[in-house]
Structure 1
Amino acid sequence: MATEQSPERARPWQRHAADVPVDEGIVGRWIHDLEDAQTEAAQAQDPARQEDGVSVVVTFELGDDVAPCLRSIAAQTIDHDRFEVVAVVPHGTDLAPFDTFEAERRDVRLRLIELPATGRFAPRDVGTAAARRTYTAFLAAADYLSSSYLETMLDRTTTREIVAAHLVDAATDAPVEHPLTYVAGKLVPTTFAKQVSTSDEIVFLLTLLARYRLDVARTDQQATYFRAPRVTLRQGRTQDFDLNVAAPMHTIGKLSELEGTCPRESLELLRDHIRLVAAPINAYLKEKPEDHDRVLDLIESYDLAEFPYDVVNRGLARSLAISYCFVPYNDTSAIVMAKRVRARRDLVDVVFNTMDQTREIDPSMRRISSPFVEDEIPIATPTRWSSWPRIDEFRLEGMRRIEALEAQKGPYAKLYSRVMWPASQFLAASYKLHNPSVTWVAEFSDPVSRDVTGAERGTPIEDGPFLDAVHDELKKRGLPVLDSDNLMAWCEYLAYTLADRIVFTNENQLEYMLSYCPVPELVPLVRAKTVVSPHPSLPPRFYSMSEQTYPLDPSAAHLAYFGNFYATRGLGDLLNALAGLDEPTKSRLHLHVFTGNADDLRTHVKSLGIEDNVHINPYVRFLAFLNLTTKFDCLIVNDALTADSHAKNPYLPSKWSDYKGSGRPVWGLIEDGSPLSKQPLTYSSPVGDLQAAQEILRKLAQSKMS
């Protein structure tokens, strides 16, 4: 046996052959002061130096009983000249079993690598660096192999495959779950194995699949890897943040980097493994739910386009959100509710209507709300705005799905509903009747039973079990029953009487909706439970998630408007003001419009002779829109025109909340006293005042000229 002073001890990565090469990037760091180390390391990557066959890299931990492992190697049916054993042992290992093995199997080439006590290197990486055969197999010293393992594995492989053996639990003979998460039981082309660290098993295997486009070939039970039971570090330590949150996120970050290069046939496997790695984060949050914000901050710091939040949030949602229109459907109502879910920061199950036939699907919008969603509950009923039979169908199916979830996790403690679409309120009211102890917060984005002109709108609601239950509850509370068959009036009245909190987006909306409350004596009750809360803005990082290329002339001032552009609704003033400017000023101004009604706008612009100043673009998806808002010199938002029908404008454009988060100057075309007029706009001009609009345009042009 070698001694401290022997040549073998001077070069601990080798014991029998002086020409054994070492990988410079892995082992060379701790032998850099040895003579000719760099030369030997460089030779390690030379495929010509690889002999045909398999290198069995055996890794040990102090205290491992290595006898079964070595016996299984000795019993291999493969010809002795087709494999070698590279054993990587920690400093202080009893080497007597290896001496015994050598004495009994002198025909098997065995090389020992004794790692230094500092433990700076992953043992499998060191063993892989020293491997000299065309394929490398990995074996932990606590495990053992079937006798035909190496022969079957080697005969099955090609240069473009990872061969996966039958992996079983040595104690029970049961198949090991998720076998592709382990390096154990795999045979890998050595040339590829040397180029990827094995320190993280899942990352190692999936990197080989993604980067080098390898395939997985599976063997039958002739090649069986018996894996000894492990006591994992995570057992009993679910409250360790570094171990159960930071470490999995590091692995998920590495795996996510592979998605762009991963072949389609391996992509599902990659995503399945990301979900598997995320599971300890869920265990941590079940022990420490108060740390959800801390965990979320770490997850979002990785800026991943997709992440399995449903895995992380599994079993944690105690709140229910109901929004007839919700992400991933590209609709303003869906986006606002997704932002509201994020702003409230309650973990929720969310119920919504499937709108595949009427709305574009934009999966990227899930990034807004997914961190706070456990289960999405899509209700596949026909999409209708005000048809009672369709609303009631949604309500009934929604209750059936909610009750099925309640059977698993118990009743919900909180309920949040939002109305642009009235069906949300009817399902929320049904759940409140079903679970009276739930705290129900109902939001109105805009008036429901009145249109923009102030005229009453609505369709008939039908008598039936739902209204009967509502009547009974109102009588029990001593509240009057609404004497109306108007579905929209009932939508508002249900929240006024049954909700615990009511959210309005601005004071004008609150006052306007209460002014036509059909039961005036209810107004004090409604005021007592009212909250005024404008639509929330997203954090700054959302404005850089979808980087857009949109060239702009730096010598000109660039204004942007996003949304439907109606010349008869205040925006015509902007075009007329631009057309009336002198040519030098006009040449410095460019208006960029992103809209769905481009044809009408194009005709109007041409009639004014400003087609060189107005650039018309199609709608863009939401995250692209957010990024584009950061690129212009000024963003334009306009009030809905209500002066002829309302004492005060009750509408606050939802677009303002998105513009506000962009950090760019905003110009509002406003009605006097409107909610928009009370916001911190950079510029504002009254609707219809061309002179005021032209003055702002001149300021913007002058800012570029100076």
Structure 2
Amino acid sequence: MSHGTTKPFVTVVIPSHGGADRIVETLDSLARQTMDPSEFEVVVVLNGILDDTPDRIQQVRRQHPRLRLRTVQLRESGAGRARNAGIAAAAGQHITFVDDDDAVSPGFLESLAAAAEDGVIPIGMVADVLADTADGLVEFDNYLNRRISTHAGQTVAGEVLSTALGFVAAKLVPTALARTAAFDPSLRSGEDVVYWFDLFNRAPFLFRVVDADSDAAYHRSIRAGSLSRQIASYDFSVSQRLEVIERLASREVRHPEAAMVRGYMVAAQINFLNGYLREALGEHRRAIEEIRERGLESVMRYDVLNAGLARDLAICYAFPPWADTSGSVAARRIRRRGVVVDVISQSLASRAERDLTGQLIAQEFIGEHAELAGKAGTFNWRPIERFVATGMEQIADWETIKGRYRSVYSRTMWAPSNVLAGLYKIRHPEATWIAEFSDPQQWDSRGHRRSTLARPGPLRDELVAGLAAAGVELGEEVNVAELVELLAYALADEIVFTNENQREVMLGYLGRPELEARVRSISKVSEHPTLEPTFYHLETVDYPLDPGHLNLAYFGNFYATRGLTEVVAAIRSLTPEQRERVRLHVFTAKPDELEADTVEAGLGGVIIANPYVSYLGALNLATRMDVLLVNDARTEGLHARNPYLPSKWSDYAGSDTDVWAITEIGSVLSTKKARYQSPLGDAESARAELAAMLEDHL
């Protein structure tokens, strides 16, 4: 290898801020290089307030006159700014960076130079030196070196050894490539991560890892306690990591390999953040708020961020990614609560479609999520037994790692949630149980009493015994729906009803005065949560709307108790001119059947049948309509008062779109401030409301 004597082959850039007490050792290690001194130069960039560093450099010059040593001085401090100045001043064909408190082995430069070629970045080993010890012990067994040494003597793609892009040292980069990017001086840490990503993004390169016995080692100086102090700082471990992620996310990726590398780099920053949160669980909500403020939700790996953080449990038989109303409400509850939870849910493959957008609702607060396999069932005992047995096994595995859970939250429209939560509470009475009911369990929406029985066996016996210990006796035959309610009434620490009517109806048929008193003392009414406005624009649905028409929308299936007969009759009773200006867009599970029905009713083109859209898609469409339609379930003659509040109301409430509520007398929906309201089954009133909508919107 012939490099000439005038232009050095390597420039060593050393940023130094107040480095008088450490720069000499760094420079001495360079003076001892096996590479001929004429083949490399050292550029020390002094930045910030000057101390005695220039004098120490002069001392080195006198001791090592053959060392090609230059200095550059900057008034402003900052390692990134200093490295940029060093790159600009470099005369060498290649550049390597050394910090002023580190050192390199004698064969470092020569070994790296021997491995240099076009498109290849040589990289050496990284060793830690505990600077505060008398013998300066060199330790090669560290996080970085374990990953680098795996490829010793090999040439590998940059994306394969992406760890090497996460730090500035131990590499030799062509000066021409080094000058295609710049260190970001506004970053307080992690500027090397962004810099090396920018280089790789411009021109993908390979890494050549030197042989383990080549004496090419970079010695990092580690001061006792320095790293632990950094990790203990929210600013360093969260805010500064998010700053780095911001910069990485802002880059326009030029090739697939760079996209892969950026993903690895972002995950590494989040993993560091997670390490801090494991020691400071109380800071998680603060970190989430900062992630939102910076607009990083779409790039955040919440599975990495929340790994190992959950000390609370959520049992939600229905849960995203399945398109299920109860599951989306449970996700909104978890989001509203703002506590990281591990989730046990059931696969609903036999009952529902997947809706991946639903996972965005609570992702910020999900730790582990175990979706149990098997055919879903509502009140059938065998599926319940299977769900409970598998769920308890999963919980036990998690608790082996992290210890007992502090609390368990369950949401019951699907009965198995309360059964598993009740069993957990019986076995771990110290855990706080928050039990939510979406609807009365013992009566379906048609007013039929559920009569499925729990089969005799260990699970039923343990639950019955747990209730008996709480003073609640059951007979020989155990009704599953009654069991689901009683477990929460007797054992839960907090019970959530979605509306006051629901609580009164459910307690009205309880028939156990002492238990009723307990429920009233620990229960609260909390309607379905409404998501923040940003969720209404996370997904944009390409759906054409004619502004010359009154555009109404209805989302959901048609039920025997929740049909739209009065709406259909009202539309038909409009004048032809009025009817022509109305478009009712229905998004439902069986659009073909609906379309056939509307054609038969003479309303083809007026009522437009569409397949279901995703949950976030529905929120987006809700903001674009003129009026949103929601209607009560018909319960007259079934219950003393209507115990149901359609969850669509909470979705509509965040859309800023007018709502038309078709209500039953005395229902909770009838008390809402919908701009338009008509009684259930009253077609004439519905026609009058439609006429008002046409007047208001057109």
Same fold (TM over 0.5): yes
Counterpart position of 2:270: 278
Number of positions where the alignment pairs a residue of Structure 1 with one of Structure 2: 655
Matches within 5 A, 1:263-662: 264-265=256-257, 269-278=261-270, 281-282=273-274, 285=277, 289-303=281-295, 304-313=297-306, 316-355=309-348, 359-517=352-510, 522-565=515-558, 569-643=562-636, 645-662=638-655
Per-residue deviation, 1:263: 5.2
Q: What is aligned with 1:136?
A: 95
Q: After superposition, what is the alpha-carbon deviation per residue over 1:279-301, rounded to whole angstroms, capped at 9, x for unaligned? A: 56456656665554433211211
Q: Report 1:121-132 matches (<5 A).
A: 122-132=81-91
Q: 1:560 to 1:497 in 2, by over 3 A?
A: same
Alignment correspondent of 1:70: 27
CA distance in structure 2 between the aligned counterparts of 1:397 and 1:262, rounded to whole angstroms: 46
Q: Distance in 2 between matches of 1:617 and 1:418?
A: 30
Match of 1:116 in 2: 75
Cα distance change of structure 1 residues 198 and 320 upon mapping to structure 2, 3 Å threshold: same
Code of the aligned partner of 2:125: H
Provide the residue aligned with 1:4 in structure 2.
none
Contact 1:234 1:244 in 2 (8 A): no
What is the aligned partner in structure 2 of residue 153 from structure 1? 112
Give how far 1:577 is off.
Answer: 2.5
Aligned to 2:167: 182
Closer, same or farther: CA 366–231 of 1 in aligned 2, 3 Å: farther
CA distance in 2, matches of 1:215, 1:558: 57
Q: 1:89 to 1:500 in 2, by over 3 A?
A: same
CA distance in 2, matches of 1:111, 1:550: 65
Aligned to 2:151: none
Match of 1:42 in 2: none
Q: 2:662 matched to 1:669?
A: yes
What secondary structure is seen at the aligned counterpart in 1 of 2:98?
A: strand
Q: Distance in 2 between matches of 1:408 and 1:542?
A: 34
Relative to structure 1, is the Cα distance of residues 552 and 129 closer, same or farther in structure 2, using a 3 angstrom cutoff?
A: farther
Distance across 2 between alignment mates of 1:362 and 1:262: 31
Preserved CA contact (<8 Å) 2:496 2:525: yes
Task: Describe the superposition over 1:152-175 as per-residue Cα deviations: whole angstroms up to 9, x where unpaired.
Answer: 434545554544332222433324
Q: 1:208: which partner in 2?
A: 199
- CA shift digits 1:239-258 (9 cap, x unpaired): 64433332222122223335
Unaligned runs of 5+ in 2: 1-5, 130-136, 145-162, 185-190
Shift of residue 213, structure 1, vs aligned partner: 4.1
Q: Which moved more, 1:189-198 or 1:232-241?
A: 232-241
CA separation of 1:477 and 1:121: change in aligned 2, threshold 3 A: closer
Instruction: State the SS of the aligned residue for 1:298.
Output: helix
Letter in 2 for 1:194: R
Q: Deviations over 1:466-520 (max 9, x none)?
A: 2222333333333222443332222222222222222211122223223333656
Distance 1:583 1:131 in 2: 82
1:423 to partner: Cα distance: 1.2
In 1: Cα distance, 2:21 partner to 2:326 partner: 61
Q: TM-score, normalised by structure 2?
A: 0.84
In structure 1, what is the equivalent of residue 209 of structure 2? 218
Distance 1:462 1:520 in 2: 28
Describe the shift of the 1:448–1:202 C-alpha distance in structure 2 as closer, same or farther (beyond 3 A). same
State which of 119, 135, 138 in structure 2 corresponds to 1:172. Answer: 138
Question: Is residue 56–residue 138 contact of structure 1 (8 Å, CA) maintained in 2?
Answer: yes
> Is the contact between residue 323 and residue 354 of structure 2 (CA under 8 Å) also seen in structure 1?
yes
Q: How far does residue 542 in structure 1 lie from its aligned partner after superposition?
A: 1.9
**Greater CA drift, 124-133 or 305-314:** 305-314
Equivalences for residues 45-84 of structure 1 within 5 A: 53-61=9-17, 62-78=19-35, 83-84=40-41
Partner letter of residue 178 of structure 2? Answer: A
CA contact (8 A) 2:20 2:56 kept: no
Q: CA deviation at 1:69?
A: 3.2
Contact kept, 8 Å, 1:55 with 1:131, in 2: the verdict is: yes
Aligned CA distance change for structure 1 residues 353 and 151 (closer, same or farther; 3 Å): farther
Query: Aligned letter for 1:695?
Result: A
Which has the higher mean CA deviation after the structures are superposed, 442-451 or 481-490? 481-490
Partner of 2:152: none
Query: In structure 2, what is the Cα distance between the partners aligned to 1:572 and 1:412?
Result: 49
Unaligned runs of 5+ in 1: 1-49
Aligned residue type for 2:496: V
Q: State the SS of the aligned residue for 1:531.
A: strand
Shift in Å, 1:659: 0.8
CA distance in structure 2 between the aligned counterparts of 1:375 and 1:570, rounded to whole angstroms: 39
Structure 2: distance between partners of 1:299 and 1:64: 39
Q: By how many angstroms is 1:629 displaced?
A: 1.6
The one-character-per-residue Cα deviations of 1:664-706 (angstroms, maximum 9, x if unpaired) are: 211112222222222221211123222222222222222343x
Q: Distance in 2 between matches of 1:92 and 1:310?
A: 46
8 Å contact from structure 1 (residues 213, 262) kept in 2: no
Q: 1:590, 1:613 within 8 Å by CA — same for their partners in 2?
A: yes
Report the more deviating stretch, 373-382 or 692-701: 373-382
Q: Secondary structure at the match of 1:570?
A: coil
Task: Give the Cα–Cα distance (whole angstroms) in 1 for the partners of residues 429 and 55 of structure 2.
Answer: 73
Report the alpha carbon displacement of residue 382 of structure 1 after superposing the two structures with TM: 4.2
Could you tell me whether the CA contact under 8 Å between 1:570 and 1:688 is conserved in 2? no
Aligned AA (2:199): L
Distance 1:209 1:142 in 2: 27
Distance 2:249 2:77 in 1: 31
The range that moved more, 567-576 or 438-447, is: 567-576
- Displacement of 1:445 in angstroms is 0.5
Q: Separation in 2 of the partners of 1:381 and 1:211? A: 49
Change (3 A) 1:247 1:436: same
In structure 1, distance between residues paired with 2:181 and 2:469: 70
How far has the Cα of 1:416 moved from its partner? 1.3
Which deviates more from structure 2 when the two are superposed, residues 437-446 or residues 451-460?
451-460
Q: What is the CA-CA distance between 1:216 and the residue it aligns to?
A: 4.4
Q: Rate the CA distance shift 1:219–1:354 in 2: closer, same or farther, 3 A.
A: farther
CA distance in 1, matches of 2:510, 2:51: 84
Give secondary structure in 2 for the equivalent of 1:552.
coil
Supply the AA of the counterpart residue of 2:171.
K
Distance 1:233 1:68, change over 3 A: closer
Structure 2: distance between partners of 1:232 and 1:579: 78
What residue in structure 2 maps to residue 196 of structure 1?
Answer: 181
Displacement after TM superposition at 1:392 (Å):
1.5
> Deviation per CA, 1:386-445, whole angstroms, max 9, x where unpaired?
332332122122222223333443333322111122111111111111111222121111
Instruction: From the superposition, tell whether residues 423 and 227 of structure 1 become closer, same or farther in structure 2 (CA, over 3 Å).
Output: same
